[in-house]
Amino acid sequence: MKNYIFGAGFIIILFLAGCSEPEAAEVLEEMEQLEQDMTSLDVKFEENIEGETLSGNGVFDFEKDIDYYNLGNFALYRDNSDFLMETAEGEVMESFATTTADQEELEHIFNNQLGRMKMPFAFFVSIDPDIHNKFDMEARDEDYVLTYNGDETDIEELGRGIAEQTLRITEGSERVDFDPADFDIDKFTLEMVIEKETNHLQEMEQEFTYTFHDLTNDQNYLYTYSNHNDAEPIEIPAVTVTAEDTEPADAETTDISEEERETLETGASDYLDALIQATVFQDAEASIERLPDTYSEEEKTTEAETQRDMFKDIYIQNTERNMQGTNVTEQEIIELADAVMYALSTADYEIVEAQAESADSIMVTVSIEGISDTSIYQEVDQELLELIENGDITREEVDSKTIELLIEKYNAIDTLLPPVELTVHVMQNPDGSYVVIAQDQYLAGFFQ
């Protein structure tokens, strides 16, 4: 009988050992291999950077080397080294890069922008090859939930690597020099959900706040993955606007005359000045006065009013999205937007200089005395905590009280931060109009 009991116990032990969950590192290594062998993939994404939310979807065909990146109001296609942009109106434009350098910069920005989305774990491994061993894992229903548990040094290394990639995209440069004294990580979390049965990554969420050169950058990313190896084929649309239609510059040289250079630099500076007036200061009339003469009077009015209205509308839409599920009203969000616009109107700036290499590459430097958005949120958080601890508000009232306090703080702005100089990439379109590649390049100075 004893032998029977011992034997049964031994079998139970073997059974339990066979059913035990794998280690986090094993799950990640298997997922990483599957990621590298992937043939196609669908991704839904939501990226929140400094309060501005971008959402859309991507489809990636690794076998044919084709990418599709949809932001709603426009979509990008990459077919090997060819790039297309499709507008909401259905126009499909081919790349206007006319030199090898322009093409390489376009590829660099595009690939870095999508690299983390397409192969997120490979992106992290490129920064920290030992990252597999720095996760806690919890089994939850049909999935494994892995949470990054790196120590302070690990977080600093990983955070710096992520920040470098972000700044490379923003500045279009191959490398960014980091002085540790100028870089601080305020928050970093990383969570991945991996399906048990297939070991495919289902979801990745990252929250990251850092300060570089006294500018705070707040990033939240949420990527949801599906149709692993089974995504729908990407149909490349027919081009409706070709590079030949635009009379591009000579593809063999980037040389421009001194007169052309001065014209581009003046036009780009005036455009950025006008754009800041329309967006940050909500002043369409001032924007119209500053827009370059390459715009007709009608085009000036349309550009200024569109930029003004779009800037505020996007802020309201993003806030509404972030406040979904709360008891905050539409009117409260509108009042908050008005307060934010007022606070921004107290800021100051100066266009310092511009340097043009071509119509596609005009770098305008702007000096900005902005508002401390970070301090406002810290003050509101502290006041909310005190109100809750003192029993002055219930948790159900927190959301509305948050909006109320933010409105008060923004309307009471009376101090600006010391000036910071930022470089903004401006391009001239073939029709003589201008465009800023990423408005975050200057907004980061106004919202600090």
With CA atoms as reference, report the closest residue to 312 among 342, 273, 286, 290: 342
Percentage of residues in the chain with pLDDT exceeding 90?
Answer: 50
Determine contact, residues 39/146, Cβ cutoff 8 Å.
Answer: no
Whether the predicted pLDDT of 308 surpasses 80:
yes
Whether the predicted pLDDT of 16 surpasses 70:
no
Domain C-terminal end among 226, 248, 278: 226
Secondary structure of residue 389 in the 3-state scheme: helix
- Give ∠ CA 426-427-430 in degrees, rounded to 5: 160
**Judgement on whether residues 42 and 183 belong to the same structural domain of the protein:** yes
Rounded Cα–Cα distance for residues 62 and 74 (Å)? 22
CATH value at residue 197: 2.50.20
Percentage of residues in the chain with pLDDT exceeding 70?
Answer: 82
Residue 375 lies in a domain: yes
Give the highest mean pLDDT range of 28-32, 120-124, 322-326, 357-361.
28-32
Q: What is the pLDDT of residue 254?
A: 52
User: Confidence band (pLDDT; 50, 70, 90) for 250?
Assistant: very low
Residue 426 lies in a domain: yes
Rounded Cα–Cα distance for residues 92 and 418 (Å)? 43
Domain C-terminal end among 206, 226, 246: 226
Rounded Cα–Cα distance for residues 241 and 222 (Å)? 34
Q: What is the pLDDT of residue 180?
A: 62
Rounded Cα–Cα distance for residues 442 and 369 (Å)? 11
Model confidence pLDDT, tens digit, residues 401-428? 999 999 999 999 989 999 999 999 999 9
Q: Alpha carbon of 57 to those of 69, 79, 118, 224, 335: distances in Å? A: 6, 17, 11, 9, 31
| H or E, element range at 41 | strand 40-49
**Judgement on whether residues 121 and 215 belong to the same structural domain of the protein:** yes
Rounded Cα–Cα distance for residues 24 and 118 (Å)? 21
Q: Indicate the DSSP class of residue 296.
A: -
Average pLDDT over residues 206-215: 80
**Judgement on whether residues 339 and 426 belong to the same structural domain of the protein:** yes
Average pLDDT over residues 356-362: 89
**Judgement on whether residues 216 and 321 belong to the same structural domain of the protein:** no
Q: What is the pLDDT of residue 249?
A: 38
Q: What is the pLDDT of residue 214?
A: 63
Q: What is the pLDDT of residue 18?
A: 42
**Judgement on whether residues 72 and 150 belong to the same structural domain of the protein:** yes
Q: Which residues contact 219 (CB under 8 A, 6 or more apart)?
A: 47, 48, 49, 166, 206, 207, 208, 209
Which long-range contacts (C-beta less than 8 Å, at least 24 apart) are formed by 302-310? 303/274, 303/278, 303/433, 304/274, 304/277, 304/278, 305/278, 307/275, 307/278, 307/279, 308/278, 308/279, 308/282, 308/283, 308/284
Model confidence pLDDT, tens digit, residues 120-154? 898 899 899 999 999 999 999 999 999 999 999 99
Residue 47 lies in a domain: yes
Determine contact, residues 399/384, Cβ cutoff 8 Å.
Answer: no
With CA atoms as reference, report the closest residue to 204 among 120, 122, 113: 120
**Judgement on whether residues 26 and 151 belong to the same structural domain of the protein:** yes
**Judgement on whether residues 34 and 117 belong to the same structural domain of the protein:** yes
Q: Indicate the DSSP class of residue 447.
A: B
Q: What is the pLDDT of residue 4?
A: 34
Q: Indicate the DSSP class of residue 415.
A: -
Model confidence pLDDT, tens digit, residues 370-383? 999 889 988 998 89
Secondary structure of residue 264 in the 3-state scheme: helix
Domain C-terminal end among 207, 226, 245: 226
Q: How many domains does the chain have?
A: 2
Domain of residue 326 covers 262-446
Model confidence pLDDT, tens digit, residues 162-183? 887 766 544 444 444 556 666 7
Average pLDDT over residues 104-114: 65
Whether the predicted pLDDT of 201 surpasses 90:
yes
Query: What DSSP line would sit under 185-247, residue for residue?
Result: EEEEEEEEEEETTT--EEEEEEEEEEEETTEEEEEEEEEEEE-TT-PPPP-PPPPSB-GGGG-
**Judgement on whether residues 197 and 296 belong to the same structural domain of the protein:** no
Residue 366 lies in a domain: yes
Whether the predicted pLDDT of 284 surpasses 90:
yes
Q: Which residues contact 11 (CB under 8 A, 6 or more apart)?
A: none
| H or E, element range at 121 | helix 120-127
Residue 45 lies in a domain: yes
Residue 248 lies in a domain: no
**Judgement on whether residues 211 and 277 belong to the same structural domain of the protein:** no
Residue 65 lies in a domain: yes
Q: What is the pLDDT of residue 41?
A: 96
Would strands 183-195 and 143-148 be described as parallel, antiparallel, or unpaired? antiparallel
Whether the predicted pLDDT of 33 surpasses 90:
yes
Rounded Cα–Cα distance for residues 161 and 307 (Å)? 33
| Pick from 31-35, 106-110, 191-195, 227-231: least confident | 106-110
Count CB atoms within 10 A of the CB of residue 140.
10
Average pLDDT over residues 350-357: 95
Residue 63 lies in a domain: yes
Determine contact, residues 369/419, Cβ cutoff 8 Å.
Answer: yes
**Judgement on whether residues 65 and 154 belong to the same structural domain of the protein:** yes
Q: What is the pLDDT of residue 310?
A: 86
Q: Indicate the DSSP class of residue 280.
A: T
**Judgement on whether residues 160 and 301 belong to the same structural domain of the protein:** no
Q: What is the pLDDT of residue 182?
A: 66
Whether the predicted pLDDT of 6 surpasses 60:
no
**Judgement on whether residues 277 and 357 belong to the same structural domain of the protein:** yes
